[in-house]
Amino acid sequence: MAQKENKTNPNGSVDSRTTLLEVTDLKMHFPIRKGFLRRVVGHVKAVDGVSFSIQKGDTFGLVGESGCGKTTTGRCVMRLLDPTDGQIVYYDREEGPIHIESLEPTEMRVFRRDMQIMFQDPYASLNPRLTLRQIVGEPLIINKVASGKELDDRVAELLRSVGLSPEYMNRYPHAFSGGQRQRIGLARALALNPEFIVADEPVSALDVSVQAQVLNLIKDLQEEFGLTYLFIAHNMSVIKHSCDHVAVMYVGRIVEVAETKELFRNPLHPYTEALLSAIPNPDPRQRKSRIILEGDVPNPARPPSGCYFHPRCAYAKEICSQESPPLQEYAPGHSAACHFAKELSLTGVL
């Protein structure tokens, strides 16, 4: 499974890196119902036309502030939510492109072996009534991959691979701490040998010193098993440390996507610039004045007109409040959704 093969991608061009997942114009609108008849009076556009693609073996970061739709995007990709619109194409090693968004529940169930998810909250993500054997082994049991002694061996192997002793197999999750629970969650995600894992804020609930342990583990497992990650986080330093490519989201849309270093060095969108500027730097000698955004993130049920960022943008002009800028490529692999991406010269942090 770990073998990396070069594949001809669907466009016909041969690439040394193949696309594993391609998301096109993904939308997830939650209806707002009101009144006695539960009439739909509007939609929360949690995800509103998101497109990106992830290369095999990459860690693709999705970053943004709370309510920007990054977690919803992750859950749509996993089909834990049924998206309103858009395409999610997964390039399977054997079966070629698969349209995840239109799979029937039974087909999806089979396909779930390839992609797994780990969650943010180490306490809510493990069922307190089950032992580690049952938790980590559940995907194997459901998909009838292993049972009995074989199951035990496999669970032991999985626990060992995330740095936990197999002796813990018969214990319940309440004996474990946040960091250990995230390891258990990772072991469960690895159980079916997936090639793609959605890591939804995997370290944001952890203490500083434990965070480093889990980040290292995520990295090590990627190398070992040839995993591809969709890495969702709000902490820019963690994103910078872990990801190869980054997409920045704002109110349900991607405003900028680029290779990590490039994005941190040369942001093209004013929001990215502000986000980067706001990162507290753990060095008192490098204090500097920051870009302070006015106001708050808009409510995704009632977003502003035009470019969603224009009310807070220091560079906004008239057109920004009228037209919504498309996501355009301005440099190889570097796209932004800003009318003035070319004109502005924004400052990065590297």
Partner 1 sequence: MADNQNTILQVENLHTHFFTESGVIRALRGVDFSVERGKVLGIVGESGCGKSVTAQCIMNMLPGNGRAVEGKISYYPRESIGSQTEKVDITGLPPRGKAMRAIRGNEIAMIFQEPMTSLDPVYTVGSQLMEAITLHQNVTKQQGKEIAVDALAKVNLPEPARIFDAYPHQLSGGQRQRVMIAIALSCNPTLLIADEPTTALDVTTQAQILDLMRALQEETHMSIIFITHDLGVVAEMCDDVAVMYLGKVVEQTTVDAAFHSPQHPYTRALLRSIPRLTDENQTRLDVIKGRVPDPSVVPPGCAFHPRCPEVIPGLCDVHTPEVIKLGGGQEVRCLLYDDKLMAQSPTRTALAESR
Partner 2 sequence: MAKQAVLIPVLDEEDPTLAAGFAKAANVSGDIGQLSVGQLMWRRFLRNRLAVGGAIVLIFMYSMILFAEFVIPYDHFVSNSDFVTRPPQLPRFIDSEGNFHLRPFVYGTETVLDTVNLIYLHKDDLTQIYPIHFFVKGKPYKLFGLIPWDVHLYGVDEPGTVFLLGTDRNGRDMFSRIVIGGRVSMTVGLVGVILTLIFGSVLGTASGYFGGIFDTVLQRGIEILMSFPTIALWAAFAAALPPDITAITRFFFISIILSLLGWTSLARQVRAKVLAYREMDFASAAKAAGASHWRIILVHMLPNALSHIIVIATLAIPGMILAETALSFLGLGIVPPAVSWGALLQDAQTVAVVLKFPWLMLPGAFVILTVLSFNFIGDGIRDAADPFAI
Q: What is the DSSP string of 316-330?
A: --GGGGTSPPP-EEE
Q: Is 322 in the site for partner 2 (CB under 8 A)?
A: no
Q: Is 259 in the site for partner 2 (CB under 8 A)?
A: no
Q: How far is the CB of 284 from partner 2 (least distance, A)?
A: 31
Give 63's DSSP letter: E
Q: Contacts with partner 1 in 166-205 (CB under 8 A)?
A: 177, 179
Contact 162, 225 (CB under 8 A): no
Q: Which residue has the tokens 């946040």?
A: 178
Residue 145 CA to residue 46 CA, distance in Å, equals: 36
- Partner that binds at residue 109, options partner 2, partner 1, none, CB closer than 5 to 8 Å by kind: partner 2
Residue 248 CA to residue 255 CA, distance in Å, equals: 6
Q: Is 29 in the site for partner 1 (CB under 8 A)?
A: no
Q: At what angle do helices 178-190 and 208-225 cross, to 10 degrees?
A: 20
Q: Is 57 in the site for partner 2 (CB under 8 A)?
A: no
- Look up residue 244 and give its amino acid: D
Q: Contacts with partner 2 in 93-122 (CB under 8 A)?
A: 108-110, 112-113, 115-117, 119-121
**Cβ neighbourhood burial of 244 (10 Å; 0-12, 13-18, 19+):** middle
How many of the other CB atoms lie within 10 Å of CB of 182? 30
Q: Is 8 in the site for partner 1 (CB under 8 A)?
A: no
Contact 88, 56 (CB under 8 A): no
Given the complex with partner 1, which of 154 and 265 has the nearer CB atom?
Answer: 265
Query: What are the tokens at 291?
Result: 């870009």
Q: Is 65 in the site for partner 1 (CB under 8 A)?
A: yes
Q: How far is the CB of 194 from partner 2 (least distance, A)?
A: 10
HSE, CB side, 13 Å, CA atoms: give it for residue 173: 22
Binding piece for partner 2, criterion CB under 8 A, among 46-54, 184-192, 288-296, 309-317: 184-192
Q: Is 40 in the site for partner 2 (CB under 8 A)?
A: no
Interface positions with partner 1 (CB under 8 A): 59, 65-66, 177, 179, 207-213, 215-216, 219, 234-238, 240-242, 244, 260-261, 264, 274-275, 277-285, 287, 290-293, 296-297, 349-350
Interface positions with partner 2 (CB under 8 A): 1-2, 38, 75, 78, 80, 108-110, 112-113, 115-117, 119-121, 124-131, 138-139, 142-143, 157, 160-165, 168, 170-172, 174-180, 183, 185, 188, 191-193, 213, 217, 220-221, 224-225
